[in-house]
Every structure is written in C-alpha cells, then in structure tokens.
Amino acid sequence: AVEYMHDENVIHRDLKLGNLFLDKNMLVKVGDLGLATRLESAEEKRKTICGTPNYIAPEVIQGTKATRGHSFEVDIWSMGVILFTVLVGKPPYEAKDVKATYQRIIANEYAFPDHISISEYAKDLIISMLQSDPKDRPSLLEIKTHPFFKSERSQIPKWL
C-alpha cells in the first residue's frame, strides 16, 4: 500500500498501528488518509507539522525551519516505529509527554530492551529505518528485500 502511494507521489504522513486494518483474509490495509498529501515532484518537500507524536519523523518536527521539510522518507520512519512497536510492545520514543517524545525523536534516543528477544536482522532493519537523516533510510525496495523478511519468514505472522 505504501509503495503504491509513493508511486502516485502521495505521502501518508500518519502511518501507525491504529491506521492499519486487517481484512477478512488477514491482509493489511492502510487507512485514514486525512493527513496524506500529494507532491508535484519527488524533490518537493512539505513543512506542515502533522502526524501522531510517537510516529513522527524528526524532519517533520523540524519542518517549519526554512531549510527543512519532509517527503516520502517520513513513511519509512513511521514503518520503522511500527515494526519496533510490534516487536517490543511500545513505541521506541514514548515519553511522559509530547514535548519529551519530540526531544527523544530529535535526539534519536531509543534502545532495544534486553528482556525481549529480537533478532539481529530485525534490529538492523529497524535501525536503518530510524535513521535521523532521511537520506540514510532505506528505500521500500531495500526494505522488502532485507534479510529480515527472507531469513525469518516462518516466524513472521502472515498478517504482517
């Protein structure tokens, strides 16, 4: 779904667990396009601060600065937060309030808990998706072909 949106120059900008739905065949559907935006070109940036605090990429938080903005990479970030949340049980940057959450996101301050077994492939994929610099995040193709999805296929629920 995200690949289709990006191919159509649409950024979702509010990907989160609450906007993922399962159909009767347990296939994931993406909903709530209320914050989605269409770009005229791949180079265009948006500067509106929007989204759900735990899932917002750092460039969205810093979007009002003249030299900043955000594009398709914010959806990659949000997918990294979703994957972390599914595996750990809580978002990586969750804090006592929104301001503290934003500070943790900007500082890229998160850790994998020691008491939960998470594969090195999963950690590698999440770390790559949660890079502070949007240019350093993987493409959707790189995500789809990451070893996490190949080596652990039998362990990944069919609905994921």
pLDDT tens by residue, 36-70: 888 888 788 888 888 899 999 999 988 755 457 88
CATH number at 45-155: 1.10.510.10
> CB-based contacts of 36: which residues, under 8 Å, 6+ apart?
5, 10, 11, 12, 13, 14
Query: Considering only CA atoms, which of 90, 79, 74 is closest in space to residue 30?
Result: 79
How far apart CA 59 and CA 6 sit, in angstroms, is 18
Kindly report the pTM of this predicted structure: 0.88
Inter-residue contact 49 to 67 (CB < 8 Å): no
Q: Give residue-wise pLDDT tens across range 116-152.
A: 989 999 999 999 999 999 999 999 999 999 998 887 5
Q: Model confidence over 1-31: pLDDT tens digits? A: 888 888 888 889 889 989 889 888 888 888 8
* Active-site choice (7, 14, 75, 124): 14
pLDDT at 159 exceeding the cut of 50:
no
Q: Could you give the 3-state DSSP secondary structure of residue 11?
A: strand
Residue 40: both structure tokens together: 């005229």
Chain-wide mean pLDDT for the chain?
Answer: 87
Domain ranges of the chain: 45-155
Let me know if 133 is a catalytic residue: no
